[in-house]
Structure formats: C-alpha cells, structure tokens
Amino acid sequence: MVFKFGGASVKDADAVRNMTGIIKNNDGNILVVISAMGKTTNSLERMVNLFVQGETNELQSEFATIKKYHLNIIQELFDREDHPVYADIIQMFGELERKLNKAPSMSFDHDYDQIICFGELLSTKIVTHYLQFQQVAAEWKDVRFSIKTDNTYREARVQWDMTRELVNQHFQFDNNRILVTQGFLGSTIDNITTTLGREGSDYTGAVLAHVLHAEKLVIWKDVPGVLNADPKWFDDTVLLSELSYRDAIELAYYGASIIHPKTIKPLQNKNIDLHVKSFIHPEREGTVISNVEYEKLVPSFIFKIDQVLIRISPEDFSFIAEDNLQTIFGVLSENRVKINLMQNSALRFILCINNDERKLPKIIDALKSNFNVTYETGLELITIRYFDESTVERVMVNKELIMEHRDKKNIQLIVKNMAN
C-alpha cells in the first residue's frame, strides 16, 4: 500500500513520532510519500521571490528561519548530537545555499522548482532517519529518478511510459523494507527537477499506487476524512464515509481542497481504493473512495473566495463566435489559468477565475487588445453538489447574486458578500 503524509502530519517532532507509530502499526509493504514539513513550501516560495528580486538580506533571514525550524525538529527527535541525520540535513542546506548564491536564470518557473524541492527532500531525509532510529527498516528514495515529466516547470506533466519503467525498477519491496519518498517532485529526461503543482503530493501517491498496482492509497490528514464542507465555513459538517470516484473527482474539480484533483483518475483506472483518514485518530475509518454506486449523497458545499468575474465583448458589437472564443481561450491557456465558471451569450462572454495578482493584469491587457473588457474582483464562488432549494437559501444569506449556473446535480453561484 501507499501512504501519503501531508505537511501537517510532519510539522513538528511530535507529529513525526505520531506518523512513525502509524507506520509501525501497519504490516506489509508500505511506500511512504511525504510532503514538506508544515508550512515549509510557503516559506520556500517566499525565498524564491526574494531570490529573483535580489533581496539578499530578507532572503538570508528566511533561509535561517527554515534551517532553524528543521534543526529544531531533529534536535527533538534524536538525542545523539553525532547522529548522521545532522550531516545529511546540513549538507542539503549547503546545497540550497549554493543555489541561492547564484544569479537567477531567465525562467522564474525553472528556478522555482530548483528551490522549492528542498522542502520534500529535507522532510523525507529526516523521517527516514527517524524510522531507522526507531528500528524500522526504512529506505530513502529520490523520486526524481523515477517520476519523469515534461519541462512545464511548476505544473509538470507525468510521462507515463518512462515513469512506469523507472518506478518498477526502483521501487522494489525486497527485504521487507519501508520505502520513503518525496511527494510533489519529478524530473525531466535530462534530470532537471520539476514539480507537479501545489499540493501535488496526493497526486504523487496516486501515480505510484497506479504504477505499482497498490492495494490502496491512504492519505493521512488532520481532518476525519472527506467532509461535505470546509469546517472553516460551516460548523455542522458531515463526514462522507463512502464516496464514488466520480463524486470525488467532481468535488475536487470544483475546488474542495481535500484532495488534489488529479489524484483520483490514476486510482480509478486500476480500481484502487483511496482512503482519507485522520492521523490523529488512525483507528477510525475515515472516507473510502471507490467504485461504489448510490443515487444521491448529502449536499456538499465548496467555497472559493477572491474570485474575479471578467466580462468580454467584441469591440465592433459583433457576436461572440468561434474565432473570438479561440482568442480568449488562447490567452487563458498561455497564462495557465483555470476557468472556474463561464457563460456565453450572443454579445458577451463571461468567465470567473481565481484572482492571481501576477496573472490578472497580463490577462486583462491581452484581452483588451481584442475586446471590450470589464472585470469585478472580490467575489465568491459557491458550488453545491446534490443541491436543493433549502441549501441554496442557506448559503445566500447576506449575499448578492451576480450569476448562477445549474445542472442536474450542481449549482454554482457567483456572489458578492454583503457582510464584507
């Protein structure tokens, strides 16, 4: 089986001890996929920005903070000061420092991946050493030798044939070992590090489970399983104990942040169950995602804040036609923007996207060279799957409706929050 542990499950020494307990309590071959510790990836992201902007002083202080954070964790975990984990971790930080002392390249995305990867490299090293220290026969694997991708840095696409061959070659469970490897990372055919998109470790777990025909993938989280809403928005959430692949894909697609959207398909294709479980209560069942069938499920709610609605119309008052749409989609795909909702009418095309500060001005400018464009920020997008009228009423309190889209199972509402 494949176990995936996210950032929260390795955020401090106690968390690492807890995950070690979970591994010890499970028999059989386990491939452990781990994310960066706690909020390390966010901190590395800040470092990438400072590196590219040449803000050396702030960069050094961020570097010192994250180094200290990792060293503190190992000091708590390993009583011996001469434990080999220290040399390994200090060497990794030395490597990171050398990269930061070079000049940035012309590609932000390339540099991003070369720096951001240290989060997972560090966490897996520390965990592997700790498992060994606890008498678990664990082995560290560099996933970059096995997951091959194209060179779309920050959003790399897996090259399945090569990956299949290399994973089977490198991940062999002889001698009853526990294998530990990094989520989120891959590399190009010429071995340049790539990443699979933020929160991509779930997807790594699915890719490896798929290739190795794993019995199941377990994603360990700080929530009881998949809930019908984010507890941040609702205090009476319900645990969905069973979920079909289809519903899981739809919920993830609409933005339920519980599982990375790309995770389900590789599992579904091989009929591998996905368990989402609490690392705080590992004895509880959590959610099982499989090929179950049912008619209906309790309504699920997905909230996305900070949305932008862009209204586009041709400058010459002509209709929105295929050639216009081609131009619009061209701009979006060049900027790698995901459309959360769109609506087409004779004279206007409307789309809703996340407000990304770096991308929005570029998109608006590009669209303005061909169309009349207006846009509105600060909106919210609410999706309800298996909706009914009472659920719609419930979410519309204090909201002004800007646009709505419904089909048989889903309703999507773009709203302005009047409470703001």
Binding site partner of 198, from ligand ASP, Mg ion, none, Cβ cut-off 5-8 A by kind: ligand ASP
Q: Which residues contact 29 (CB under 8 A, 6 or more apart)?
A: 1, 173, 176, 178
How near is the Cβ of 185 to Mg ion at its closest, in Å?
Answer: 13
Binder among 3, 7, 50, 70 for Mg ion (CB under 5 A): 7
Binding site partner of 349, from ligand ASP, Mg ion, none, Cβ cut-off 5-8 A by kind: none
Rg (CA), the chain: 23
Is residue 225 near Mg ion by the rule CB under 5 A?
Answer: no
How near is the Cβ of 7 to Mg ion at its closest, in Å?
Answer: 4
How near is the Cβ of 192 to ligand ASP at its closest, in Å?
Answer: 18
Residue nearest to Mg ion (CB): 7
Apex CA 320: angle with CA 314 and CA 326, to 5°? Answer: 95
Half-sphere exposure of 286 (CA within 13 A, CB side): 24
Q: Which residues pair with 399 in a beta bridge?
A: 417
DSSP 84-147: HHHHHHHHHHHHHHHHHHSPP-S-HHHHHHHHHTHHHHHHHHHHHHHHHHTT--EEEE-GGGT-
Residue 337-356 contact track with Mg ion, rule CB under 5 A, x = bound? --------------------
119 versus 266: smaller Cβ distance to ligand ASP: 119
Residue 182: both structure tokens together? 């990094």
How near is the Cβ of 200 to ligand ASP at its closest, in Å?
Answer: 5
In whole angstroms, what is the distance from residue 220 CA to residue 31 CA?
A: 13
Is residue 313 near Mg ion by the rule CB under 5 A?
Answer: no
Is residue 35 near Mg ion by the rule CB under 5 A?
Answer: yes
7 versus 225: smaller Cβ distance to ligand ASP: 7
How near is the Cβ of 195 to Mg ion at its closest, in Å?
Answer: 12
Residue 58: both structure tokens together? 């702030």
Binding site partner of 200, from ligand ASP, Mg ion, none, Cβ cut-off 5-8 A by kind: ligand ASP
Place of tokens 């777990």: 205
Of the candidates 124, 118, 74, which has an alpha carbon nearest to the alpha carbon of residue 100?
118
Q: Which residues contact 57 (CB under 8 A, 6 or more apart)?
A: none
Residue 158: both structure tokens together? 């897996």
Stretch that binds Mg ion, among 33-41, 105-113, 230-238, 375-383 (CB under 5 A): 33-41
7 versus 266: smaller Cβ distance to Mg ion: 7
Residue 306, by phi and psi: left (phi above 0), alpha (psi -120 to 50) or beta? left
Specify the length of the chain in residues: 420
Binding site partner of 261, from ligand ASP, Mg ion, none, Cβ cut-off 5-8 A by kind: none
Residue 347: both structure tokens together? 């004279």
How near is the Cβ of 82 to ligand ASP at its closest, in Å?
Answer: 30
Q: Which residues contact 333 (CB under 8 A, 6 or more apart)?
A: none
Binding site partner of 183, from Mg ion, ligand ASP, none, Cβ cut-off 5-8 A by kind: ligand ASP
119 versus 299: smaller Cβ distance to ligand ASP: 119
How near is the Cβ of 418 to Mg ion at its closest, in Å?
Answer: 33
20 versus 201: smaller Cβ distance to ligand ASP: 201
119 versus 186: smaller Cβ distance to ligand ASP: 119
By CB under 6 A, name the binding residues for ligand ASP.
6-7, 35-36, 41, 119, 183-184, 198-201
How near is the Cβ of 369 to ligand ASP at its closest, in Å?
Answer: 34
Residue 172: count other Cβ atoms within 10 Å of its Cβ: 12
Residue 386: both structure tokens together? 């298996």
Stretch that binds Mg ion, among 34-42, 92-100, 151-159, 299-307 (CB under 5 A): 34-42
Q: Which residues bind Mg ion (CB under 5 A)?
A: 7, 35
